[in-house]
Structure 1
């Protein structure tokens, strides 16, 4: 089978599935059982893809270790923690044949994984603060309005803001729950329209970036 024919089969299959799910969701047509079957297969394909991703992760970091590429020590950490979490997670199942409450896995998850995940939030907050510092400069009227609104919101969330003036909390709440709602709704509508347009382009075979080896034409 030629590469062109393989691609066209994928495009046709994607279009067929999209139409079926679209009709089933919006028009409540008698395609429920077929749509449910498609959703079940989607879960199966997702789990297979997850397994392939794990294999590729192990393969890539193993190559990093073997060839001693830059920062290969991080690859060793990834492989070690992958093996530890996988073996401890499967330990109870391998011993009893059923999923059991594994104390070692739970301890590692709560005391290692959760703190590491929580560390990402302060790091993200630092980058947000850095971006806000660069953005909140009153170069023009728009930037000045954003600076004023941002100051009110920050002071309404900080305990020192209410200590300085109780009105900061009221004004900050107005900005968060009244002033920003029109803008957020606009972003949501534009994003939804963009996703619909992207879906139609994929349905017509015009948007091929998500296909393996494909590109936007």
Structure 2
């Protein structure tokens, strides 16, 4: 096996990068901090380069689809046209009027991207309502607790609820500040412990899901 295909190399790179980021967080070592800052800059450069790879992958995926007129090729045409316009209009060349302040770029972003994003969020409201209707059925004790808590929170948030009885607002605040906050802290502690265990497994080479397609 060639040396650059050995599994120890990505493990070693991961450990070195992690140590360079962890040590300056706990110890005040200017030399380490400078190296860590350089690694962060490299991370931004690599991430930006990945955007070009993503755009190229989209072209390679959708151009053949349009040529062969596969199912949904019309949407691919729209995607390719808009993406090409946004890439050209957003190029950082202010001398010719291109960049983030370009009128075409701003028009597409404000009138298409923002509008479509708001539309998607508004559609989610119907799914949330349907899920809440199915969930708020007291089939057992857990569902009953969820139903009562959700009803009290809604009454505490609704102006009509607090107008009918001011106690709904206090009950809602107690539910948020005591049981909800305690549960969230427990979840965060569990997630932190899980992250520590995952990091330890990664450093020891046990966790290999981040390279070679997740193979062992």
Normalising by the smaller structure, the TM-score range is 0.7 to 0.9
Q: Is the 8 A contact 1:93 1:100 kept in 2?
A: no
What residue in structure 2 maps to residue 168 of structure 1?
Answer: 168
What residue in structure 2 maps to residue 143 of structure 1?
Answer: 143
TM-score (norm: length of structure 2): 0.86
The Cα shift of 1:154 comes to 2.0
Distance, in Å, in 2 between the alignment partners of 1:32 and 1:130 is 51
- Name the SS for the 1:139 alignment partner: coil
Q: Are 2:188 and 1:188 aligned?
A: yes
Do the aligned partners of residues 62 and 137 (structure 1) sit closer, same or farther apart at CA in structure 2, a change above 3 Å counting? Answer: same
Kindly provide the CA deviation profile for residues 144-168 of structure 1, in whole angstroms up to 9, marking residues without a partner as x.
Answer: 1111001111222334433544433
What are the ranges of 5 or more consecutive residues in structure 1 without an aligned counterpart? none
Kindly provide the CA deviation profile for residues 159-181 of structure 1, in whole angstroms up to 9, marking residues without a partner as x.
Answer: 44335444333322322233310
Distance, in Å, in 1 between the alignment partners of 2:53 and 2:113 is 23
The Cα shift of 1:43 comes to 0.9
What value does the CA root-mean-square deviation take over the aligned residues?
2.4
Q: Is the 8 A contact 2:92 2:100 kept in 1?
A: no
Q: Is the 8 A contact 2:90 2:99 kept in 1?
A: no
TM-score (norm: length of structure 1): 0.86
Q: Is the 8 A contact 1:58 1:79 kept in 2?
A: yes
What residue in structure 2 maps to residue 23 of structure 1?
Answer: 23
Distance, in Å, in 1 between the alignment partners of 2:111 and 2:148 is 41
What residue in structure 2 maps to residue 155 of structure 1?
Answer: 155
What are the ranges of 5 or more consecutive residues in structure 2 without an aligned counterpart? none
Deviates more, 1:131-140 or 1:34-43: 131-140
- Name the SS for the 2:60 alignment partner: helix
What residue in structure 2 maps to residue 37 of structure 1?
Answer: 38
Q: Is the 8 A contact 1:24 1:32 kept in 2?
A: yes
Deviates more, 1:73-82 or 1:160-169: 160-169
Kindly provide the CA deviation profile for residues 170-195 of structure 1, in whole angstroms up to 9, marking residues without a partner as x.
Answer: 32232223331000111111111111
Distance, in Å, in 1 between the alignment partners of 2:172 and 2:54 is 44
